[in-house]
Structure 1
């Protein structure tokens, strides 16, 4: 089931209809020595901390949305005056102003992405083609209400600033009505029930005005009305993610937001029990089923467990959709069986980022097959996510 590529007029002609698989290459930027990342219907980046996963994903957005990004920076009075270094400082954070050196290079598909060239580009308003849900999302909501663009410090990446604005759009659109996450009429009831059972247990999120007039989100559960600081860590992480997905999936008869083609979600598992991770992943699969390209970074083996099982179920002679519903913990209604069947048609790419012991810089590997019997440790250990489980089994087997 090939997915459509971005149709934004901000893109080079070669990007207006993208292939099902697309590559992004980054060379000598930050900790990255040389990385070649493959994107597909569903894309996952794994690897140790500080290996540049966020930088890779932010480059993807900058490459696809630079005219819109320039427009937002201009709107908030940030100047770059055609200088790529200043653009990088505003976009990645001020510490990255001089990170793109003479040996640095970025290429998306067959197009070179050059900061100085982007900085001389024309700013254009309009919908972005990439919606980015950052790992910083709890900090964006640390006051119980999203921070606006100018409330962030200069070292905050653009994607975090922009995300807060999108969440604020969702909350503002709902007015005084209770904010239910995920929102009704935007997600199937079966997926909402799954999230409630795993994360909220009958509670609901509402927006309440505080004494000084500023609103704050509260979790109402029975007689308790809990502020964001009283929520569990997982709830603080997942509520802004779910609000963001509510923005990306408009209600009514429109299943996709015009112009938007990609959803990037960093570490959707943050703070969650494995049951909660699977519930959130089911909702993210719904975005891919509808036609968005879904991109995740993760430190959770649960995410790869689901993708590996989906690959095996795709090859199963019978019952694949029903068994996927059971894996995800959702009722196998007619609607969910159709959902599962479409999910099983999606192609997945898994990319592993790790430090090269010879250079000390980050390199990339394609480990999409996730073959546990592979002689390549990076592939058999799923980028290190099941390394210790495998090691424990080996140690115990010595007594057998």
Structure 2
């Protein structure tokens, strides 16, 4: 997966996106980021998507617009029109080619791209993932499939009542577990309660707290934590079989900036496992990381400076986490710029604050408020002097 070019996809007028090891998408709400990401999933995994939909008793059919409604969600079929064009890795993809051939003799298709949707918190109904068929037919496929993936994972990986979900020594690298503990759970222990109905409990300071009473950030983070468990079979460098790409929509939802830093550390771990990662975000913290990464990479700085960036003391496990990242990985950043009711996607990867283009200088608008605040305060201070 190297490049995608699009003309006329929902609100998007034109797009020419080159994927890095990490690709970051920024832009205002309803500018087409989610539509583009879901299209990428469909292009990469269309055979597996069709097989999954049919597995749960739905009819795939042959009408492209009905299938787009079923995949993107009710009312979304017209985001692609007869004049839309898609080029993926140099190959033209006409609308009709989004429909995989129906061949019952084909072996089950493997999932290549794991999609973590923005609405992920709704998949944990009272603290346990919902079934694929629990959702309305109008709900986008990526959310239903994500929920079902987590449910299968938990059913196969948890045992008797009282299982500890977090922390687990065999899950995630030690610096990551410690970071999530310090920024999100604060020495709380997540266990699985199976006395009546499976659900998560947060055990902290002698209290056993049900999922719905957790803080907003803890609830938002839980599906992310389970996703990281699924993608990282052990704390050592390894990856999920067949999966090459990971999409994470708005990983910052509900999280304090310190917790967002912890999530970025986990993304670095995914990169070290040779996943290609695409993130959509409204958080300046991720852009600050991308800017620092680009500068350190250009300066040929040592990996140890990344540890300093995240306030991590140097250790064998920390060195292993960052080893070769600056030398071997790349970050691309794109801004979904709305002009006259259409969105053009701009490459702002330099994140150069001195660039004449405000889209680049203000990081797609994510730094514009702080820049204006600094200018105003500087002006007031100069007048007072």
Q: TM-score range by the shorter chain?
A: over 0.9
CA contact (8 A) 2:232 2:238 kept: yes
Give the structure 2 partner of residue 174 of structure 1.
Answer: 158
Do the aligned residues in 2 keep the contact of 1:82 with 1:120 (CA within 8 Å)? no
Q: CA separation in 2, counterparts of 1:130 and 1:317?
A: 31
Structure 1 position 220 matched with structure 2 position 203: yes
Which residue of 230, 237, 259 maps to 1:247? 230
Residues 1:129 and 1:297: Cα distance change in structure 2 (over 3 Å): same
Q: Residue 286 of structure 2 is aligned with which of 286, 293, 303?
A: 303
Structure 2: how far apart are the matches of 1:381 and 1:110? 31
Counterpart in 2 of 1:388?
A: 369
Instruction: Select between 25-34 and 192-201 the one with higher mean Cα deviation.
Output: 25-34
Are the equivalent residues in 2 in contact too, given 1:44–1:295 (CA < 8 A)?
Answer: yes
2:176 maps to which residue?
A: 191
Q: Structure 1 residue 120: deviation in Å?
A: 4.6
Checking the alignment, whether the CA contact within 8 Å between 1:182 and 1:242 is kept in structure 2 is no
Distance 1:81 1:268, change over 3 A: same
Return the alpha-carbon distance in structure 1 between the equivalents of residues 267 and 100 of structure 2.
36
Q: Work out the CA distance in 1 between the residues paired with 2:166 and 2:91.
A: 39
The more displaced of 383-392 and 223-232 is: 223-232
1:169 Cα deviation from its structure 2 partner: 2.2
Structure 1's 122 and 342: CA in aligned 2 closer, same or farther, altered over 3 A? Answer: farther
Equivalent position of 1:365 in the other structure: 346
TM-score normalised to structure 1 length: 0.89
1:318-397 equivalences under 5 Å are 320-345=302-327, 346-357=329-340, 360-397=341-378
Shift of 1:254: 7.0
Kindly tell me the number of residue pairs found equivalent between the two proteins: 375
Q: Secondary structure at the match of 2:83?
A: coil
The reply on whether 1:200 has 2:190 as its aligned counterpart is: no
Do 2:66 and 2:77's aligned partners in 1 also have CA atoms closer than 8 Å? yes
Flag the 1:154–1:49 CA change in 2: closer, same or farther, 3 A: same
CA contact (8 A) 1:83 1:120 kept: no
What's the C-alpha RMSD, in Å, of the aligned pairs? 1.8
SS of equivalent residue, structure 2 residue 165: coil
Whether the aligned pair in 2 keeps the contact of 1:135 and 1:266 (CA below 8 Å) is: yes
1:365-389 CA-to-partner distances (Å, cap 9, x unmatched) read 0000110110110000000000000
Is there any run of 5+ residues in structure 2 with no aligned partner, and where?
A: none
**Offset at 1:182?**
6.1
Q: 1:321 to 1:152 in 2, by over 3 A?
A: same
Q: State the SS of the aligned residue for 1:296.
A: strand
